């Protein structure tokens, strides 16, 4: 299970961010700790960290290629 901050949930809803971002975050769970990790997947930039032992997406946005 991946949690979203209010900011990330707002981004998903208002900025046409695909829900695929949540699935991708599940793949990087072994790399996450309390410090935010910024990574890129296709045209998305995702910032995530672990909070209370659970992966949490902090922010996500699209980049123009």
Write out the residue range of the structural domain in which residue 17 sits. Answer: 3-62
> Tell me, what's the pLDDT at 31?
93
Q: What is the pLDDT of residues 10-43, one digit of tens each?
A: 988 888 888 888 999 999 999 999 999 999 999 9
Q: Work out how many domains the chain is built from and give that number.
A: 1
Confidence (pTM): 0.87
Q: How confident is the model at residue 64 (pLDDT cuts 50, 70, 90)?
A: confident
Q: How many other CB atoms are found less than 10 A from the CB of residue 13?
A: 9
> Tell me, what's the pLDDT at 65?
62
Q: How many other CB atoms are found less than 10 A from the CB of residue 23?
A: 11
| Rounded Cα gap, residues 39 and 48, in angstroms | 8
């Amino acid at each position: 299970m991946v949690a979203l901050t209010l900011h990330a949930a707002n981004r998903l809803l208002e900025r046409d961010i695909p829900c695929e971002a949540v699935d991708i975050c599940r793949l990087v769970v072994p790399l996450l700790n309390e410090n935010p990790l910024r990574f890129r997947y296709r045209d998305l930039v995702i910032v995530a960290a672990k909070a209370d032992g659970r992966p949490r997406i902090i922010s996500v946005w699209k980049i123009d290629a």
